[in-house]
Amino acid sequence: MGKSSPDPSTQPSDLRPPPARGFTKPAFDSLRPQSFPPADERISDLVVGSVVGRYELLAIVAAGGMGRVWAARASGQHGFSRFVAMKTILPSLVHNEELRARFFDEATLAAKIHHPNVCQILDLGDSDGLPWMVLEWIDGAPLSELYTSDPTPIDARAAARIMSQVCAGLHAAHEVCGDDGEPLGAVHRDVSPQNIMVGEGIVKVTDFGIAKAIGRSLTTQAGQVRGKAPYLAPEQLTAQPVDRRTDVYAAGALLYELLTGRRAYDGETDAIILMKVMNDLPQKPEELVPQLPVPLRAIVARAMSKRPADRYPSAQAMQRALDEWLVQASPLSDSALTRIIVDRLGTAIFDRREQIKRTMTDRASGNGPARSPIELIPTMSSLEFQPWI
Ligand SMILES: Nc1ncnc2c1ncn2[C@@H]1O[C@H](COP(=O)(O)OP(=O)(O)O)[C@@H](O)[C@H]1O
Ligand SMILES: [Mg+2]
């Protein structure tokens, strides 16, 4: 939180764009959408209780080096009210043109994807030069939370069903077309346990922040490696061209982790992990879980092939393989799958709901501070949000 932020209680409730005034043009100004107002010293930090557009910030659910994710409430006429998530860039970074462009690119790409296994984007805007995007509220927790309270592997059928849905969501992203009907060749590039949300009947791919797609302003940067080390395919690590099979690799690494409770590649440092990804094979999953069904071992091995040509040609093909195995495995009902997920998440979802409810009750009764300092929801603080490079 910036110490020099003006007293929030004296700020206007709606952060309307102020009248334009002189400012120094940043070097990459061409990347800025034409309608965008200049970002300058007027940008103040956001706190719980701030109103951004027609959204009221209720609680912070994730804080990273570059931005924040908030629980927020959209209000409308006739008492209309709806829970949403809002993503914002840190005020100190709003001048970073690359970050801004990435932020708008993320929203533009995500807005084109309509699929139940992909987090919906609902709105995009800026207030006082501070960009924000509004997402459907996902009442869940990142997949990474499944193993925080219990490291034993989950039921293989649950792992396969979760990954089948992840693959369906990824396939929808890979197939997305531009307004001209031409495929955008989108690749998520950051498929990792932090970017998959699960909950009661929920599996959703989120965070298209570093996705690649034709037309993105920042796709052509050569030699940049982004994403999280244990899930990066060899071609991504060596800055070779990536395509949908790069996400298939990451889905394979996620499946490995769900089935075994262990990362396929792990190490003290990212450099060690990268060396392993390039040169080694992961420990055979059946050595960790001897009863692992043979078809699932084969799916992991194929999805995680070092050469893209040896992998499933698409996330849909990987989904089909998972579904074929599921059909002949003993059935796992929707309610049983939900129970497994909810039991594993422990209190993560419950705590988050409680925190938001408390904030709303306090504010409605006038008891709580109108604008309180940001407080991280404790159960979410264990998450890592630093991009790897
Ligand atoms: N739509 C959402 N609903 C609820 N929580 C969300 C939503 N989107 C993101 N989050 C939370 O915020 C975290 C970070 O979001 P993400 O989109 O991955 O941003 P980042 O770019 O910081 O990685 C997620 O792991 C999740 O805990
Ligand atoms: Mg993320």
The string of DSSP codes covering 67-106 is EEEEEEEEE-GGG-EEEEEEEEE-GGGTT-HHHHHHHHHH
Phi, psi (degrees; rounded to nearest 5) at 31: -80, -15
Gap from CA of 63 to ligand 1 centroid (Å): 9
Residues with Cβ within 6 A of ligand 1?
Answer: 61-62, 64, 67, 69, 85, 119, 135-138, 142, 194-195, 206-207, 209, 380, 383, 385
Question: What is the per-residue pLDDT across 143-174, written as a single tens digit (0 to 9) for each?
Answer: 999 988 888 999 999 999 999 999 999 999 99
Gap from CA of 12 to ligand 2 centroid (Å): 31
Q: Which of 102, 83, 118 is nearest to 33 (CA)?
A: 102
Q: Which atom of ligand 1 is nearest to the CA of 209?
A: 21
Give catalytic residue positions: 190
Indicate which residue's Cα is closest to atom 10 of ligand 1: 69
Indicate which residue's Cα is closest to atom 13 of ligand 1: 62
Spell out, as residue ranges, where the chain has pLDDT lower than 50. 1-42, 219-220, 222, 369-389
DSSP secondary-structure letter at 49? T
- Across-strand partners of 379? none
Distance CA(178)–CA(31), nearest Å, equals 19
Residue 328 corresponds to which tokens in the numbers above? 């002949």
**Is 123 in contact with 97 (CB distance < 8 Å)?**
no
Q: What are the residue boundaries of the structural domains of the chain, listed by start?
A: 8-14+43-137+347-380, 140-341
Indicate which residue's Cα is closest to atom 19 of ligand 1: 207
Phi, psi (degrees; rounded to nearest 5) at 173: -70, -40
Count CA within 13 A, CB hemisphere, residue 67: 19
Which distant-in-sequence residues (6+ apart) come within 8 Å of 264 by Cβ?
Answer: 230, 252, 253, 256, 257, 282, 283, 304
Gap from CA of 57 to ligand 1 centroid (Å): 15
Q: Which of 206, 349, 352, 376 to mutate to test the pocket of ligand 1 (most atoms within 8 A of CB)?
A: 206
| pLDDT of amino acid 337 | 96
DSSP secondary-structure letter at 5? P
Question: What is the domain class of 8-14+43-137+347-380 according to CATH?
Answer: alpha beta
Distance CA(275)–CA(125), nearest Å, equals 41
Q: Which atom of ligand 1 is nearest to the CA of 194?
A: 25
| pLDDT of amino acid 366 | 64
Q: Which CATH architecture has domain 140-341?
A: Orthogonal Bundle (1.10)
**Is 287 in contact with 225 (CB distance < 8 Å)?**
no
Gap from CA of 84 to ligand 1 centroid (Å): 12
CA distances from 348 to 28, 105, 344 (A): 41, 30, 9
Residue 3 corresponds to which tokens in the numbers above? 């110490």
What three-state secondary structure class fits 148? coil
Distance CA(198)–CA(161), nearest Å, equals 12
Phi, psi (degrees; rounded to nearest 5) at 78: 60, 35
